[in-house]
Amino acid sequence: MECHRKLLLALSFGAFALIHLVRAQRDQEGFISLDCGLSPNESPYTDSETGLTFSSDADFIQSGKRGEAEDDENYSYKQFKNLRYFPDGIRNCYNLIVKQGINYLIRAGFSYGNYDGLNVSPKFHMHIGPNMWTAVVVRTEHYREVIYMSKSSLLQICLVKTGETIPVISTLELRPLRNDSYMTELGPLQLIYRRAYTSDTSGYIRYPDDVLDRIWDRYNWFETDVNTTRNVTSSNPFAVPDAVSRSAISPRNSSRPLSFFLSPDEKSEKVSVYFHFAEIQALNANETREFDILLDGIAIHSAYSPKVLQSETKYNISPQKCSLSSCDLDLVRTQRSTLPPLINAIEAFKVLEFLYADTNQNDVNAMKNIQAVYGLNMISWQGDPCVPEVLKWEGLKCSYTNKSTPPRIISLYLSSRGLKGVITPAFQNLTELQNLDLSNNSLTGGVPEFVANMKSLSIINLNWNNLTGPLPKAIQDREKNGLKLTINGNPKLCADASCKNNNQKYVLPVVASTASVLIIVAVMILILVFKKKKPTQVQHEVPSRTSIITQTKRFTYSEVVALTDNFERVLGEGGFGVVYHGSLNGTQPIAVKLLSQSSVQGYKEFKAEVELLLRVHHVNLVSLVGYCDEEGHLALLYEYAPNGDLKQHLSGERGGSPLKWSSRLKIVTETAQGLEYLHTGCKPPMIHRDVKTTNILLDEHFQAKLADFGLSRSFPNGGETHVSTAVAGTPGYLDPEYYRTNRLNEKSDVYSFGIVLLETITSQPVIQQTRERSHIASWVGYMLTKGDIENVVDPRLSRDYYEPTSLWKALEIAMSCVNPSSEKRPNMSQVTNELKHCLTLANSRQGVRQQMSSNSSVELSVSFTSEVTPNAR
């Protein structure tokens, strides 16, 4: 009998719990509650304090890693224990399905809890779509909140890396609101504060007391408390909770106003304030409560009387700026009132200006479909494809009319992305697309007829795929009307319906291309021979091409396999792929760089490097022996550098004695000469774009050879001052001005070289989170302002083994190179001359403690205090 009673009790309790669970789920309709970093195995769960159901964020974001805050922290809510952090990429975005045209309260929660053991507060930005929402510094747990009307059914909340620290997030919550409550027509509303005035200041008021799950701070303003135990109704759209409306404050001095203040971050910001009132005192027949509501001296409502036991909200319909550094909020008693003012709660917001229009929705949908069809998982393909322009997706080019007009996608470059299957019809939905590059992939099937119907398309590159069949007649007709179609490297694809002369139409371009390479090589040899017979009156000393250069040619893949003994000996690995040791003619050692199938670099970078090295020749630039471009196999064959790279020697990776100061100076001076040649000796000039210590190779005589030209770009030698291009480079070495503006010039190489010079002097990592300043330029500047040069110099360089004047001069050169302003940096010719002077001083070993030479060839502008480095994308 007792067992039956316990069973009935358990069933009753279970039914009761089920009813409440169903009711809670119904009440949370439209809520999105993500515990960021929560394991999917623990999802979902019901929070014991709020009754809210939280889920893992794993299905809403494609990047980031799970972390856990330290146990010794006391967290307000369970959600602050877990977190997700984003060490990769610049922009990482949550993708949330919402109702278009609905106001949403968006709340992001952050805790750091020293999850990484570094004790460094993360700093980053939050974006909604393409627009910046707020800057975040995570010291202790806190929330950021905004009320925003979604423009589409997909809402993207993004964390954007702005410096060297890693963005983190603990919770992301969305709550639908009524559109006739908060005014978002003039811009989203970012919460400044939300206060419920009460003498009881313990905890917060939120769900389930507030059905909209706003978080109300219980706030004591040190005025007279007014309370009631009776219920207060709320029939207006704001649905202020009863728990908020049952408490209020009134001024201690009944003849004085009830005053508050509001401080926006910037004086130029507009504010919107929502005052919540309910008369909760029992008034006598002869008593009246009436007051004016003033926002910074402007009446937003005159002679207002709160309604008895009924919540009502008053606010300024037009957002306004504060006249000084803060706004005054005053409730001023009218002359006919017998009672002082009273208020229950205040919500204060600043109005955000979201300037950027989202990319055209049809283009976005098309890109999402293309991404899904081919399984493209590129870290930059998050958030809005085109805006802001500095964060646009890799491989895209967009057209921008103005900030309020949706951008359109006009070029799409998907070369060497491992695409498989047929050419998807999703491409035709990019209706403004002008240039499409699908080369060097594994696409199959025929060239679809819909290509002919893409009216804006003028160039399509389908080279080096596995396409088959004849070209549709409609495409052949489009070619006659200006469409430029290339299909080289598709042996089973033919140009007409007969398919008898397979690919005949495209034999001539291939032959012509090969012939042009041979002609270029022959002409260059003749030029060099001719130059030998002429007096040397050139600006730069360009050594004649050795036998290794005259043998430059195109190798087959089978030849590459033979030269490397079937890729037996690995020399290293980089962004392009693995580098192998090889031998030419059995005697001449070479390095063979083979493109990896998973490489982030591709055919474009390969082609750029081949074309550049075929036309530039300098003793301090690595020489190209040859290249392989055969059915998807890409390889570069270089002269061999048996002493590795500069980075290995500075870090001690190669063992042996540390490099002497004079040897280091010689290496960086020779590197400067190579860069100077690219900038001033080439026609047109070239910008390297990836100068770093791992790209400075050392031959058998420790002569410096600048390598890796896959990112290099031609530079206009007319009146232009820069090239506008997508940002590329290596974190830490990347010019911050180029990063901000996308405007590339030769001073970007100067900045990177300055970082190399600092590395050479200090043997310190470029980025090290445990230093007083994590970036090497900031750290050296910081140490120099303290006069602490001794701790800047590599301790392995004893004063007995270096000439201090030359080292100090080299430091000044380096700091002038990393000046945040490109205009204040020297050019490479000036840097080379100064380093030659340093080298002369170092080799003299006179040890004279003297001031900087007065006949210096360039005045170096040194700035030691600037924060100078963002990360590369």
**Beta strands of 198-269 (E only): which ranges?**
204-205, 216-219, 224-227, 247-250, 258-262
Give the number of other CB atoms < 10 A from CB of residue 725: 14
Residue 595 in contact with residue 634, Cβ under 8 Å?
Answer: yes
**Is 473 marked as a binding-site residue?**
no
Residue 487 in contact with residue 472, Cβ under 8 Å?
Answer: no
* Side-chain half-sphere CA neighbours of 56 within 13 A: 13
Residue 727 in contact with residue 700, Cβ under 8 Å?
Answer: no
Q: How far apart (Å, rounded) are the C-alpha atoms in residues 270 and 183?
A: 13
Give the number of other CB atoms < 10 A from CB of residue 50: 20
pLDDT at 730: 84
Beta-bridge partner residues of 810: none
Q: What does DSSP assign to residue 113?
A: T
For residue 253, give the amino acid letter.
Answer: N
Q: Which of 824, 811, 737, 802 is nearest to 776 (CA)?
A: 811
Backbone angles phi, psi at 784, to 5 degrees: -70, -35
Q: How far apart (Å, rounded) are the C-alpha atoms in residues 467 and 444?
A: 5
Tokens 């500075």 locate to: 650
Q: How far apart (Å, rounded) are the C-alpha atoms in residues 156 and 96?
A: 6
Q: How far apart (Å, rounded) are the C-alpha atoms in residues 60 and 139?
A: 26
Task: Specify the pairing of strand 189-197 against strand 216-219.
Answer: parallel
Q: Which of 484, 482, 487, 478 is nearest to 508 (CA)?
A: 487
Q: How far apart (Å, rounded) are the C-alpha atoms in residues 672 and 675?
A: 5
Beta-bridge partner residues of 468: 492
Residues of the chain with pLDDT under 70: 1-26, 71-74, 496-552, 574-576, 596-602, 604, 715-727, 798-802, 845-873
Token output for 497: 């319906």
* Side-chain half-sphere CA neighbours of 555 within 13 A: 26
For residue 572, give the amino acid letter.
Answer: G
Token output for 324: 């000084």
In the three-class reduction of DSSP (H, G, I as helix; E, B as strand; rest coil), residue 1 is classed as coil
pLDDT at 605: 73
Token output for 420: 């498989």
Token output for 708: 């890796």
Q: How far apart (Å, rounded) are the C-alpha atoms in residues 156 and 127?
A: 8
In the three-class reduction of DSSP (H, G, I as helix; E, B as strand; rest coil), residue 407 is classed as coil
Residue 154 in contact with residue 408, Cβ under 8 Å?
Answer: no
Q: Is 344 exposed, middle or buried (0-12, 13-18, 19+ CB in 10 A)?
A: buried
Kindly give the residue spans of alpha helices, DSSP state H, lying in 786-844.
804-817, 828-844
Q: How far apart (Å, rounded) are the C-alpha atoms in residues 122 and 178?
A: 34
Q: What is the largest CA-CA distance in the chain?
A: 117
- Chain-centre distance for alpha carbon 821: 21
Task: Specify the pairing of strand 291-295 against strand 298-304.
Answer: antiparallel
Q: What is the CA radius of gyration of the chain?
A: 34
pLDDT at 145: 97
Q: Tell how many helices (H) and how many strands (E) occur in the chain.
A: 15, 47
pLDDT at 484: 92
Instruction: Write down all domains in the chain, each with its CATH number in brackets.
Output: 23-177 (2.60.120.260), 191-351 (2.60.120), 361-502 (3.80.10.10), 510-639 (3.30.200.20), 646-844 (1.10.510.10)
pLDDT tens figures, 54-65: 999 999 999 999
Dihedral angle over CA of 324, 325, 329, 332, nearest 10: -40
Q: How far apart (Å, rounded) are the C-alpha atoms in residues 196 and 556?
A: 77
Residues annotated as part of the active site: 690
pLDDT at 622: 87
661-676 and 746-762 are packed helices; what angle lies between their axes, rounded to 10 degrees? 170
